């Protein structure tokens, strides 16, 4: 049976290289591509589930229009496009194009994603978002400190003698990394996990530290205080390559271990042990997770942890460094650069970038001059994934017309007046980068779209023709040859060809396996900036990393037997946010949505293992089964994000429409809830 090179385009750290087996027009098998060194062991459970996803009986194969009874029923493409044109033409005729809201999520990656924005610019205007749900506080913290978001090659982790997983759980969110981690003891390497949850990654660690969520900056500053007081810093490295060391040392001196231990709720001995390991074991890598920077203080927290890498000289060397995001493959534009998440300094009169992704619901409702009346949503499920679900739903329901492009009838699609069927990764070629490894990859077309599915580029082409738009080369010409020619034109400046990518992953030109090996940092000073004037000027935060208490911090009353608990909404190995959970294969192997709670917290509230509980705050209420978890820090509960409302309600019913301190991120974890046995 013939095999084809491909890659997984989901918004996932791994970006697996794939080999696809196709026979008689059907996808028969999926395996790892041996030339993608980071993921050669093969795809995860979700990747294997593509075999089901592409032929799922729940997949949308025709346009669906919602009737007055709220039920979506099939309509022809002619009718669907006519409905859209009927809504768009009056906006253009009255110069109210910015009444159209264009929301593009990050559910799938690829160069063709830019076609949506190109279409709406050709239309003459639109309103859109700034910020990001995922990782911008960490991106901005890294950019301010190091000048760029780069890290060593994934396989370089094998050279580390100490690996610190700070708020990261790769055993479930970056499974390929665990191949190296599981070899660490045999190599004489040590591993530390800092996480309020007892995760599968933490089970492999030599030391587990479980701070109160949102206090990691204080923990990092206390570790820094010990390193400095015990003379375990790399003084020569700091003199040559760091700006603001003296000021930072004074800040760290404010955080002796005893003070941080009380605030964070961890033993002083663990703070000293982590400092001893970082001071003595070289080379060391700190691998920071995305979830930890999804607090209102997330950016400053990341800056504080980053400082530990600088203090110990763990940069620019094999086995050493800061692993958060590796944007070396972002060579086609600024799609991933943190600066791309900011609203433009000077509006261009076409794109009104005025809706914070973190505050989608309230901001969308607040738009005036003109107000938003219509929405086009693709590659995202904001009714499930954006903060404060109630406000998001209110905003969508206030619109006159909503179009959603998706493969399934998600929570957002159910709110749509018109649902357009989306292709899968197998039904149109595209070029994708990564943010962990350094390879460009081709996900090539191997299947014809089923039913009446059309790739989004063709939908835009047909819609443009009906509207009389001059699209030119902004979109590829119709057909597979047009798509490949469009992609090749973007590869030409790099000296690469689609034929090269068809053979397998190709390292991006100029790829560096060891980040900052030349010890040149593209910051204003040319050094690692422990003291950042830009942080203060751009974001209004302290130029030094510091601890700021959460907006929703536990109060003294919450220490009681039935006080409020901190809600964490981590990722699970069974989903990529709200994707894959609807597939039978995943449902058969998963345990289903639940509220994880420490047995002591459960007992104090009269909650038995398995009983249904209500989790609530002023923003919303969820009712789910309780699941005792003795590895979870007391005072916390945990619910995996990505659960559809159809499955019991999204966790973002409880989350605030609140931004992080840096980067316009979403402060998902800055949440307090009450938990009690459900009465209904």
Contact 58, 582 (CB under 8 A): yes
Residue 670, helix vs strand vs coil: coil
State the span(s) of the chain assigned CATH 2.40.40.20.
556-677
Contact 40, 57 (CB under 8 A): no
| One-character DSSP codes across 39-66 | GTT---HHHHTHHHHTT-TTS--S-EEE
On the CB side of 601, CA atoms within 13 Å amount to: 28
Tokens at residue 180, please? 């190296």
pLDDT of residue 393: 97
Residue 371, helix vs strand vs coil: coil
pLDDT of residue 173: 87
pLDDT of residue 285: 97
Contact 159, 136 (CB under 8 A): no
Task: Map tokens 């560096």 to a residue.
Answer: 512
pLDDT of residue 102: 98
Q: How far apart are CA 606 and CA 611, in angstroms?
A: 10
pLDDT of residue 205: 92
Average pLDDT for runs of 10 along the chain of length 680: 89 91 91 88 88 95 95 97 97 94 93 94 96 95 97 94 95 87 86 94 93 98 98 97 98 98 98 98 96 96 98 97 94 63 78 96 97 97 96 98 97 97 96 94 96 96 95 90 96 96 94 96 98 97 98 87 93 85 85 91 96 96 96 96 87 96 96 93
Produce one character per residue of 33-55: b if its CB has 16 or more CB atoms within 10 Å, e if not: beebbbbbebbbebbbbbbbbbe
Q: How far apart are CA 289 and CA 218, in angstroms?
A: 17
- CB-CB neighbours of 560 under 10 Å: 10
What are the start-end ranges of the E strands in 500-653? 506-507, 528-529, 565-568, 595-597, 612-617, 620-628, 636-638
Chain centroid to Cα 433, Å, comes to 15
pLDDT of residue 489: 95
Q: How far apart are CA 470 and CA 476, in angstroms?
A: 13
State the span(s) of the chain assigned CATH 3.40.50.740.
64-126+342-507
pTM exceeding 0.85: yes
CATH architecture of 137-327+518-539: 3-Layer(aba) Sandwich (3.40)
Reported CATH class of domain 556-677? mainly beta
The domain defined by 64-126+342-507 carries CATH number 3.40.50.740: yes
pLDDT of residue 448: 96
State the span(s) of the chain assigned CATH 3.40.228.10.
137-327+518-539
SS3 for 72-125, per residue? EEECCHHHHHHHHHHHHHHHHHCCCHHHEEEEECCCECCHHHHHHHHHHHHHCC
pLDDT of residue 474: 85
- Beta bridge partners, 666, equal 659
- CB-CB neighbours of 510 under 10 Å: 9
Contact 515, 321 (CB under 8 A): yes
């Amino acid at each position: 049976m013939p095999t084809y090179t491909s890659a997984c385009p989901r918004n996932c750290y791994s970006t697996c290289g794939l080999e696809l087996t196709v026979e008689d027009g059907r996808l028969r098998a999926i395996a790892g591509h041996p030339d993608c060194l980071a993921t050669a062991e093969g795809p995860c459970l979700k990747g294997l589930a593509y075999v089901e996803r592409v032929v799922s009986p729940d997949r949308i194969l025709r346009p669906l229009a919602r009737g007055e009874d709220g039920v979506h029923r099939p309509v022809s493409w002619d009718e669907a496009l006519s409905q859209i044109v009927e809504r768009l033409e009056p906006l253009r005729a009255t110069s109210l194009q910015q009444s159209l809201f264009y929301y593009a999520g990050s559910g799938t990656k690829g160069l063709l994603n830019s076609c949506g924005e190109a279409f709406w610019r050709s239309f003459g205007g639109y309103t859109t978002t700034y910020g990001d749900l995922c990782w911008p506080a960490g991106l901005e913290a890294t950019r301010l400190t190091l000048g760029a978001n780069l890290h060593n090659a994934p396989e370089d982790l094998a050279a580390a003698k100490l690996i610190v997983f700070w708020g990261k759980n790769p055993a479930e969110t970056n499974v390929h990394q665990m191949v190296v981690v599981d070899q660490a003891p045999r190599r004489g390497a040590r591993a530390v996990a800092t996480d309020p949850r007892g995760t599968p990654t933490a089970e492999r660690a030599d030391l587990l530290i479980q701070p109160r969520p949102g206090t990691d900056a204080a923990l990092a500053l206390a570790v820094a205080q010990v390193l400095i007081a015990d003379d375990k810093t790399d003084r020569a490295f700091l003199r040559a390559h760091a700006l603001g060391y003296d000021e930072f040392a004074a800040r760290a001196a404010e955080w002796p271990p005893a003070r941080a231990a009380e605030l964070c709720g961890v033993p002083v001995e663990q703070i000293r042990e982590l400092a001893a390991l970082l001071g003595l074991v070289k080379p060391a890598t700190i691998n920071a997770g995305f979830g930890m920077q999804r607090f209102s203080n997330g950016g400053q927290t990341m800056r504080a942890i980053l400082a530990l890498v600088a203090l110990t000289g763990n940069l620019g060397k094999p086995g050493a460094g800061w692993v958060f995001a590796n944007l070396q493959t972002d060579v086609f534009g600024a799609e991933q650069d943190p600066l791309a998440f900011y609203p433009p300094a000077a509006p261009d009169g076409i794109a009104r970038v005025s809706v914070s992704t973190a505050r989608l619901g309230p901001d969308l409702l607040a738009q005036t001059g003109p107000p938003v009346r219509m929405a086009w949503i693709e590659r995202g499920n904001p009714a499930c994934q954006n903060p404060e679900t109630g406000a998001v739903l209110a905003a969508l329901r206030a619109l006159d017309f909503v179009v959603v492009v998706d493969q399934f009838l998600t929570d957002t699609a159910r709110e749509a007046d018109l649902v357009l069927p989306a292709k899968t990764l197998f039904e149109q070629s595209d070029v994708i980068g990564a943010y962990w490894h350094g390879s460009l990859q081709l996900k090539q077309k191997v299947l014809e779209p089923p039913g009446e599915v059309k790739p989004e580029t063709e939908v835009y082409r047909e819609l443009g023709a009906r509207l009389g738009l001059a699209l030119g080369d902004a979109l590829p010409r119709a057909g597979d040859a047009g798509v490949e020619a469009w992609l090749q034109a973007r590869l030409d400046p790099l000296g690469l060809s689609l034929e090269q990518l068809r053979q397998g992953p190709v390292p991006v030109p100029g790829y560096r396996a060891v980040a900052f090996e030349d010890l040149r940092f593209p910051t204003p000073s040319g050094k690692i900036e422990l003291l950042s004037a830009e942080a203060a000027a751009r974001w209004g935060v302290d130029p030094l990393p510091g601890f700021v208490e959460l907006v929703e911090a536990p109060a003294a009353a919450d220490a009681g037997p039935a006080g409020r608990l901190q809600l964490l909404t981590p990722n699970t190995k069974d989903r990529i946010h709200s994707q894959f959970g609807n597939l039978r294969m995943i449902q058969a192997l998963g345990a289903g949505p639940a509220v994880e709670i420490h047995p002591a917290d459960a007992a104090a509230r009269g909650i038995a293992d398995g009983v249904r509980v209500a989790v609530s705050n002023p923003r919303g209420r969820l009712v789910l089964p309780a699941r005792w978890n003795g590895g979870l820090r007391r005072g916390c509960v945990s619910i995996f994000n990505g659960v559809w409302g159809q499955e019991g309600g999204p966790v973002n019913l409880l989350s605030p429409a609140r931004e992080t301190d840096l980067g316009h991120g979403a402060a998902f974890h800055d949440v307090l809830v009450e938990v009690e046995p459900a009465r209904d």
